[in-house]
Amino acid sequence: MKISSHSLPRVALITGGASGLGLAAGHRLAADGLTIALADLDTDKAQAAAQQLPGSGHIGLRCDVADEASVKASFEAVVARLGEVSVLACFAGILSTARNPGRLATTEITLEEWDRVMQINARGSFLCIREMLRRAAGQLMEHGRIVTVASLAGQMGGMQSGAAYSASKGAVLALSKVAAREAASLGITVNTISPGPVDTPMLQLTVPPGHGDQKYLGTAGVPLGRIGLPEEIAAAVSYLVSPGAAFVTGSTIDVNGGMLMR
């Protein structure tokens, strides 16, 4: 069978798109020819970032992924301004609401901390996926794609993060597989990228003061001997979103410098 390329202009909604990995994914998908909506809590940053993407027609908008109404409104705004969303990339996430840096012991985690991290990382991914699937119900999409973002912490019991973050990413891994089964008949694939340490503002939060400009304390445990680049996560997104990845669903792509081999 010949791999068909997409015939329609494709719109990608990227949550957490104002910073770090989401922003890098926006740059890469825009360079790939998609029209991008960068959705983030930080509206000004999302709008300014959208203007810097290659090509034209991209937008930035406010979205709180933990809020049901905000997620619905964001999809509606994107559809009204750009057309139906065929690619959803769920990058919005937080490490902790509590003290940074430092891994909180489970005994130190408050209910508020647990709930807030789960609300953004797990519930946020659920709400975005649910909205995408609700909108797609009853029609067959051409190259519909959902990319979720887990973490090595969710696979290995936490690295520089504690129970709330790790469990929220475990939830993302399981949720994505459920969604992959349910979305298959709609022409939508669902895959997860599970990054190891990558150079973003979030990673910087794991480094306590007194370590100069060091960006991560655990590079000795990385077989490739360095932290990753946001562009290296974006390259995986680009692949998963491409027509050539149409037969890949329910998978987890590890982009972690070899820290977990399985």
Residues of this chain that bind ligand NAD (CB under 6 A): 15-16, 18-22, 40-42, 63-66, 91-94, 120, 124, 149, 151, 195, 197-198, 200-203
Phi, psi for residue 87 in degrees, rounded to 5:
-130, 125
Phi, psi for residue 146 in degrees, rounded to 5: -125, 130
Least Å from the CB of residue 173 to ligand NAD: 12
The total number of residues shown for the chain amounts to: 262
Question: What are the residue ranges of helices labelled H in 137-253?
Answer: 152-156, 163-183, 201-204, 230-241
Buried b (16+ CB within 10 A) or exposed e, 83-107: eebbbbbbbbbbbbbbebbbbbeee
Out of 2, 45, 72, 165, pick the active-site residue: 165
Residue number with CB closer to ligand NAD (138 or 223): 223
Shortest distance, position 6 Cβ to ligand NAD, whole Å: 26
Question: Could you tell me which of 114, 115, 242, 126 has the C-alpha nearest to residue 174?
Answer: 126
| Nearest residue relative to ligand NAD (C-beta) | 20
Concerning whether 169 is annotated as a catalytic residue, the answer is yes
215 is catalytic: no
Per DSSP, what are the bridge partners of residue 88?
13, 146
**Residue 50 or 141 having the CB closest to ligand NAD:** 50
What's the one-letter identity of residue 21?
Answer: L
- Looking at beta carbons only, is 213 or 247 nearer to ligand NAD? 213
Nearer to ligand NAD, 143 or 191 (CB): 191
Backbone angles phi and psi of 35, in degrees to 5: -95, 130
Given the complex with ligand NAD, which of 21 and 240 has the nearer CB atom? 21
| Shortest reach from residue 40's CB to ligand NAD, in Å | 5
CB of 8 to ligand NAD, least distance (A): 27
Terminal-to-terminal C-alpha distance of the chain? 30
Q: Least separation, in Å, of the C-beta of 80 and ligand NAD?
A: 19
3-state SS, residue 19: coil
CB of 93 to ligand NAD, least distance (A): 2
- Dihedral sign, CA of 85, 233, 51, 70? positive
Q: Which of 2, 169, 215, 239 is catalytic?
A: 169
User: Which helix (DSSP H) or strand (DSSP E) does residue 60 occupy?
Assistant: strand 59-62
Question: Considering only CA atoms, which of 32, 4, 27, 7 is closest in space to residue 17?
Answer: 27
Q: Please give the positions annotated as active site.
A: 165, 169
